[in-house]
């Protein structure tokens, strides 16, 4: 399981996104950003999604 706290990355987002893969977390983050009015997902924002996604260890 992977997790991303999108606060500080996506303006106005207070959500923690969780999914089974890092790719799915990034996909959900992109959808969340668009829902919050971000028109263009920059390469820098995508990099932030990837680097701030953490694997949850059991």
* Degrees, nearest 5: CA angle 27-30-45: 115
Cβ–Cβ under 8 Å, residues 38 and 55: no
pLDDT tens by residue, 6-51: 998 999 999 999 999 999 999 999 999 999 999 999 999 999 999 9
The pLDDT, as a whole number, for residue 7 is 93
> Which two tokens mark 1?
């399981």
- d(C-alpha 3, C-alpha 11), whole Å: 18
- Record the pTM: 0.91
């Amino acid at each position: 399981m992977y997790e991303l706290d999108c606060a500080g990355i996506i303006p106005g987002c207070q959500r923690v996104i969780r999914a089974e893969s890092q790719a799915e977390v990034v996909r959900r983050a992109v959808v969340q950003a668009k829902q919050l009015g971000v028109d263009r997902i920059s390469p820098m924002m995508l990099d932030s999604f990837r680097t701030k996604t953490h694997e949850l260890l059991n």
